[in-house]
Amino acid sequence: MGHQHRTWQRILMVSLLCLLLPALCTPPASANDGPTASAEVARLFEEAAKATQSYQRGLHAAEIERARTERLQWRLAERRRELEDIHDKIGEVARAQYRAGGNLALTARLLLADDPAVMMRGFELAWKAELAVNRLLGQAREAERRASQAEERTRAAWLDLEARTERLAWLKQGIETKLESAQWTLQGEANRSAAAGQCAGAVRLDEPSLPDGPNWVAPVENYTLSAGFDSAGEHWARRHTGQDFAVPIGTPVRSIGAGRVVSVSCGGGFGIQVVVEHSNGWYSQYAHLAAVTVDQGDWVQTGQWVGQSGTTGNSTGPHLHFEVRLTPYLGSGVDPVPWMRERGVWL
């Protein structure tokens, strides 16, 4: 909650400074114009996603090696206990031989024995038992040696994976730091455009190939639903007219279905926004954007990017305001959640 509060404070401060002193939000023209900032955010989002995947794979691999090391350590402890048991058995045999007089008294005992043959068989059995114990001792020592070597190799692999995972964590943190800086650069430019009521124009980004099959998709990926349709709050004149998706600044915003862009506008309560008309007579709206990737009149496919999320207009934090409407105009919206569910998209 405290982090969210600080984020809102920073957003409000940046917005106020951009309104009062637009020059503060204007990066050097040679380094960061609108398209460059948008493309940098999109690129860093992709890099951050890859770094996160690599980091998670590293964590998983390190956990597997750690578990394997623990199993081998347990086996090594078992081998050492077996070796101690065999040592104890050898000690018992040695003590028994000492009590019986050992090999030096063997001739005298045979001469005095009532049945020397029985005694010889007894000594033969004792000798075989000692050989068997010594054989077990050798096998146990060899098993301990192999277990120790396996444990050392696995421990080395585990430590190597842990070191690699730490490096991946540093790399991931570095990318996320760069991403945050680029996000606020992009948001500063968006605030300037929204304050002036003039859109900077479409930013054509390299986006991934569109998936085959679905006619409808969610407007963003990896989101958290926040304010819902028809909810009350101090930020809306009457009731909330759409569904909010909490996402970071610069998150790609997708057209939920195929259609034509009927409106791209800046300024006002919705900030930077795009409205798409779909072939079945419905309209979808995407508001509080930081940048747009389409122009009015463009035809878009299902899942095609129409902009990047932000916090322009009457917004308390980075999110996408999404509406499904009967007309292109405010006031004709329906609840997007059941509407999307009827078309196979569960939000």
Q: What is the mean pLDDT of each run of 10 residues along the chain (347 residues)?
A: 47 48 43 66 91 89 82 77 72 62 51 56 61 71 75 79 87 92 94 90 86 88 90 62 95 97 94 95 97 96 96 94 96 95 95
Q: Establish if 2 belongs to a structural domain.
A: no
* Tens digit of each residue's pLDDT (9 = 90 or more) over 125-146: 556 666 766 776 777 677 777 7
Q: Establish if 297 belongs to a structural domain.
A: yes
Contact 254, 305 (CB under 8 A): yes
Count Cα atoms within 13 angstroms, Cβ side, for 92.
Answer: 9
Same domain membership, residue 235 and residue 315: yes
Q: Establish if 5 belongs to a structural domain.
A: no
Same domain membership, residue 134 and residue 282: no
Expressed as residue numbers, the domain containing 278 is 224-341
Q: Establish if 20 belongs to a structural domain.
A: yes
Q: What is the pTM of this model?
A: 0.65
Residue that finishes a domain, picked among 196, 215, 239: 196
Same domain membership, residue 156 and residue 239: no
Q: Establish if 211 belongs to a structural domain.
A: no
Q: Establish if 3 belongs to a structural domain.
A: no
Same domain membership, residue 229 and residue 178: no
Q: Establish if 206 belongs to a structural domain.
A: no
Indicate left, alpha or beta for 267 from its phi (over 0: left) and psi (-120 to 50: alpha). left
Same domain membership, residue 254 and residue 106: no
Same domain membership, residue 188 and residue 247: no
Same domain membership, residue 296 and residue 252: yes
CB crowding 172-200: b at 16 or more within 10 Å, else e: beebeebbeebbbbbbbbbbbbbbeeebb
Same domain membership, residue 314 and residue 244: yes
Both tokens of residue 273?
A: 């926004």
Same domain membership, residue 178 and residue 71: yes
Determine the pLDDT at residue 146: 77
Same domain membership, residue 175 and residue 37: yes
Same domain membership, residue 242 and residue 147: no
Q: Is the dihedral of CA 154, 160, 164, 170 positive or negative?
A: positive
CATH number at residue 137: 1.10.287
Determine the pLDDT at residue 88: 73
**Pairwise CA distance, residues 220 & 340, whole Å:** 13
CATH number at residue 261: 2.70.70.10
Determine the pLDDT at residue 272: 97
Determine the pLDDT at residue 14: 46
Same domain membership, residue 138 and residue 176: yes
Determine the pLDDT at residue 263: 96
DSSP 319: B
**Pairwise CA distance, residues 286 & 159, whole Å:** 48
Determine the pLDDT at residue 80: 75
Overall number of domains in the chain: 2
Determine the pLDDT at residue 122: 57
Q: Establish if 213 belongs to a structural domain.
A: no
